[in-house]
Each structure stands twice: as structure tokens, then as C-alpha cells.
Amino acid sequence: MNWLFRYANPHEFMRLSGAVLPFTAIATALCIGLSLYLGFSAPPDYQQGRTVLILYIHVPAATCAMTVYGAIAVCSLLSLVWRHPLSDTAARAAAPLGAIFTALGLITGALWGKPMWGTYWVWDARLTSFLLLLFIYFGYMALWNAIEDETKAARAAAILALVGAVNIPIIKFSVEWWSTLHQGESIVSGKLAPVFLAPLLLMMAGYMLLFITLWMVRIRTAILERRATVLMQRGTA
Amino acid sequence: MNFDMSPYGAYIWPAYGVSVLALGGITLWSWLRWQWAKAKLAALEKKT
């Protein structure tokens, strides 16, 4: 675990993230730009027509929503076990990003569902558990803001994040465990033609890189704000 | 590139629009907060 503590040090994190940030930002723009070019140049799907374009933004948003939550759960575990303050900062910084990806997954899914399923929404296991994820994100962020003592808030939020992590495998396997309108996995099983797969994978990489970039920016901001608070307290003491 | 979305334009363009607004918005907000934090810390360090 020594390597983790080395990079979980705020000073080391600032140095490392400062070096990595320009590259992740450029890679994000390249992946999303290339995906849009390939996606809008691809022919319509024989069943879905051009609504397949919605899947290029729906699937990456939904994947990121769950990945971000996984990252929050890991940070929360590290915080509860090793009490490292940067873990709390990282978990808190990721939450609004995860909530936005979740909301986008729900909205773009509804906009794809209407022309393909004939409805914006059904209370099936996948959609309902994904909506629950959005509420867990809201609850997590509200808990951080509701408790004034930051140490207590961090502990309560970490426990909530770990309890809420139960929902992630439920979302993932809901299409296998229950009969749902939402289709099953189609990337790993090779059901997608390469002409649709390439822009989808590029957009997934782009969204993930965007998350990593913004996550680093938000953690850096939190560290700077903490330093400013310490300086102000010293000034008034 | 083909921008003809018929007959699904009413679903495709709002999906892209809301994604651009949300992701663009959080990117801009995060970047601005970062710049404000840097400026505030620099001012405080200069003062002390």
C-alpha cells in the first residue's frame, strides 16, 4: 500500500496531477472529436435508424455513472480503513460528476426509448435501479453538506457510499436477473458491427478521460481551498 | 458527415444538446472554481 500513500499525499498529488492534466484534457478532446466524426459519418442502423447516435452518448454516460460510483466506494473504503483525508476529498469531488453522468444516462436513455420502445420510461429493474443510483448520489452530496463537522460528514458519507455500492451489481446484472425491457450487454458479446463499435468505444474512452480530467481539477481545487482556509485562520488567530 | 436525422431529429438533437450543456457546464464550472481558488490562495500568500 506504500505507493498509494505516496500518491495520496496532497503535495505529491498536486505535482503528479499538474503533469498529467494537459495530456488527459487533450486526449479527451481527441477521443470525443473522433467519435463524433465517425458516429455522424456512419450509416443508419438497419433497425434503429439514426437513433443509434443516441447510444454513443447514452452508453458512455451510464458506464461512467457506475464507474464513478465505484471510485467513490473505493475512496470511501480507504477513508474508513486508513483515515486518509485525500480519500474523502477525492470521493466528494467525484460525486457531482457521477450525478451528472447518471442524469445524462437517464435522459438520453428516455430520448432513445421513446422512438424505439414507444415510451420514455418503464419501471423495469435496470431503469429503476439506475434511477436509485441518482438518488444515492443526491443523498451522498446532501449528507456532506448537512453535517458541519467535516470529519463526521466524511465518515457518514463514506458509510452511505459503501451501503449504496450494493446497487452497482444490481444495475449491472439486472438485465440478466429479471425480465427487463432494457436490452442486455452488446459490446463484449460482439453484437455490434465495427462501424458502430468504433465511435462507441472512442466516446466511452472520451467520457472516462473527461471524468479523470475533471476529477483531478476538482481535487486540486479542494486542496487549494483548504490551504486558503488554513491561511485565513492563521491570519485571524 | 451526415446531419440528416429524419425522422428522429426530435429525439437525437435534444439528447446531444442536453449532454453538451451538462458536460460543458460542469467543465466550465470546475475550471472557473479552480482559477478562483488559485487566485484566492495567491492573494492570501502575498498578504502573509
What ipTM was estimated for this complex? Answer: 0.95
Any chain B CB within 8 A of the CB of A111?
yes
Q: Is residue A5 part of a domain?
A: no
User: What pLDDT does residue B33 have?
Assistant: 97
**What's the whole-model pTM score?**
0.94
Residues of A in contact with B33 (CB under 8 A): 218, 221
Q: Give domain status of residue A15, yes or no.
A: no
Average pLDDT in chain A: 93
Distances in whole angstroms, Cα of residue A233 to Cα of each of A111, A236, A237, B42: 50, 5, 6, 16
d(CA A130, CA A136): 10
pLDDT tens-digit profile of B6-39? 899 999 999 999 999 999 999 999 999 999 999 9
Which among B6, B34, B48 is the nearest to A231, CB-wise?
B48
| A224 → closest Cβ in B8, B16, B37 | B37
Q: Using the beta-carbon criterion (under 8 Å), do B8 and A217 form an inter-chain contact? A: no
- For residue A8, being part of any structural domain is answered with no
Q: How far apart are the CA of A127 and the nearest CA of chain B, in angstroms?
A: 17
Cα atoms found within 13 Å of the Cα of residue A232, Cβ hemisphere only: 10
Indicate whether A76 belongs to any domain.
yes
Where does the pLDDT of residue A210 fall: very low under 50, low under 70, confident under 90, or very high at 90 and above?
very high
Is B4 strand, coil or helix? coil
Task: State residue A189's pLDDT score.
Answer: 78
Residue A144 located in a structural domain: yes
Domain extent for A124: 21-232
pLDDT digits (tens, 9 = 90+) for A128-178: 999 999 999 999 999 999 999 989 999 999 999 999 999 999 999 998 888
Q: Is B33 on the interface with A (CB under 8 A)?
A: yes
Of B4, B19, B30, nearest to A104 by CB-CB distance is: B19
C-alpha grid cell, residue A26? 487533450
- A11 in any annotated domain: no
Residue A197 lies in a domain: yes
How many domains are there within chain A? 1
Q: Is residue A156 part of a domain?
A: yes
